[in-house]
Chains A and B, each alone.
Chain A
Amino acid sequence: MEHVIEEKATSLTFSDVVKGRLGGKTMTLCYQCGTCASSCPVAKITPRFNPREIIKLSLLGEKDEVISGDAIWLCCSCYNCQERCPQKVEIADVIYALRNIALKEGYIPNIYSEFASALLNDGRIVKVSRFVENKRPTIGLPPLQPTGVDALRKILSATGFDKLQQKKEGVS
């Protein structure tokens, strides 16, 4: 009995955490009809991704399974599910919220970590290329403007993101 109560308490907490995040607030409207899964181009290809399942596990409070697995990273953010959901659950945005939680707990695929590093270095996610910069004027394109990276660093520092990034780098 105690176990059940404990589980219930956990589930409430995780659901509330997701609901409290931007994009996460509609999650509890889900009644598990599966319109999302049948609209999902990724779910058609691989059984490793099923948006209905991700929402179900999140509602049940299975935080570890949700944030440590690779499923949440396989959403292609096409928003088909979100457009078609009869309950107006913002599914793709809920998945973004889950990814943000995963990052806080130290789970993040390398690519996002690379994006974040590039941002902190250059202000853009594609590595600034001297070769292309030199080429642009020769093919009639204006030179690239400065990235404003100093200003950006100040903002990233204010949002606390630079610390998260350092934490991740420390972990890996």
Chain B
Amino acid sequence: MSDLRYMFFLGCTIPYRVLSYEISARKVFAKLGIELVEMSDFNCCGLPVDPASHEMMIALAARNLCLAEQQELDIITLCTGCAVTLRKVNKVLKEDKELRNRINEYLKEVDMEFKGTVETKHFIHAFKEDLGFDKIKESIKKPLAGLKVAEHCGCHLLRPTTVTGWDDPEDPAVLKGLIELTGADCLDYMDEPECCGYTIIAIDDKVAMQLTREKLQHVKMAGAQALITVCPSCHLMYDMQQARIERFFNEKFELPVLHFPQLLGLAMGFRPDELALKDLRVNPSKILEAIKTT
């Protein structure tokens, strides 16, 4: 199933709170020949309730997998958490027959049965394995030469490697390679694969904000003009929470945070308004000016 046709699993956060990610991803995917089939009837991937009930997480994810199995389509996601959860559950249900039987008993209630016939990929994973770097290279019309950015993969794009396994969790290279295809420089910085802090913001916001703050400091120190993310949760921390973090620690960052499809879209020749750049909380006009003059 590598004909670039996927079930599009949006997850809970993106379609309500991070529309700029969805808008830019849809534009870029269409241009690259990726066909998205809307996933009717999906529910939460399960990850947010894993702390409360592992069994419920598995049941929720399994139902989503069944929806894709019925359409005989692999799943593509924009969220690293959704991808890792659907992959993990697919794996564990294939390996553990007893668990699969139990979950299938639950699913029987809704006339479903998990079979294990589809894969889930975060779009960066799909870009690497299904689309290929050459296709992306061919799509670049306005290289972003001279622009210096940094990447933040997000924990669940990389870890746990028993579920991901297609990039190095200590020195991730795939997103960096993709960014460099746009013509921008992707700079290394301290503690690059560390967490954004999102998962604990409702438990202890000061600890979470400190995690985000340190990442922003390291990215600025490296001299990056923007940070590039591939997860709605990471983006909420770096972009939406940035002003609050600046106030809380009395420290200025003013670091634009772009979704990778926005950066790629600019290099493909889309206008900033087509990619919803105006929806970003941290004003990206400085980097748009920099791109114009190159």
Residues in A lying within 8 Å of B, measured CB to CB: 21-23, 41-42, 45-46, 70, 73-80, 82-83, 90, 92, 96-97, 99-100, 103, 108-113, 115-116, 119, 123-129, 132, 136, 139-142, 144-149, 151-152, 154-159, 161, 164
Interchain CA distance A115-B106 in the complex, whole Å = 21
Please pick, from B26, B99, B109, B208, the residue contacting A155 in the complex, using a CB distance under 8 A. B109
- Closest Cβ of chain A: how far from B220's Cβ, in Å? 18
Contact partners of A73 in chain B: CB under 8 A: 51, 200, 203
Instruction: Give A156's nearest chain B residue, CB to CB.
Output: B56
- Closest Cβ of chain A: how far from B291's Cβ, in Å? 23
Of B49, B51, B161, most buried by chain A (CB within 10 Å of CB) is B51
Interchain CA distance A154-B107 in the complex, whole Å = 9
Interchain CA distance A132-B22 in the complex, whole Å = 13
B15 touches A115 (CB 8 A): no
Please pick, from A92, A100, A110, the residue contacting B160 in the complex, using a CB distance under 8 A. A92
B195 touches A145 (CB 8 A): no
- Closest Cβ of chain A: how far from B73's Cβ, in Å? 15
A41 touches B23 (CB 8 A): no
Interchain CA distance A146-B210 in the complex, whole Å = 38
Contact partners of B204 in chain A: CB under 8 A: 46, 70, 74
- Closest Cβ of chain B: how far from A168's Cβ, in Å? 9
Instruction: Give B194's nearest chain A residue, CB to CB.
Output: A41
A154 touches B160 (CB 8 A): no
Please pick, from B52, B159, B195, B276, the residue contacting A103 in the complex, using a CB distance under 8 A. B52
Task: For chain B, residues 27 to 51, give those with C-beta under 8 angstroms from any C-beta of chain A.
Answer: 38-44, 48-51
| A22-B54, A132-B15 known; A155-B202 Cβ under 8 A | no
- Closest Cβ of chain A: how far from B26's Cβ, in Å? 8
- Closest Cβ of chain B: how far from A133's Cβ, in Å? 9
Q: Let me know if B59 is at the binding interface, CB within 8 A.
A: yes
Contact partners of A42 in chain B: CB under 8 A: 200, 207, 211
Instruction: Give A96's nearest chain B residue, CB to CB.
Output: B50
B160 touches A82 (CB 8 A): yes
Contact partners of B211 in chain A: CB under 8 A: 41-42, 45, 76
Please pick, from B13, B52, B106, B170, the residue contacting A112 in the complex, using a CB distance under 8 A. B52
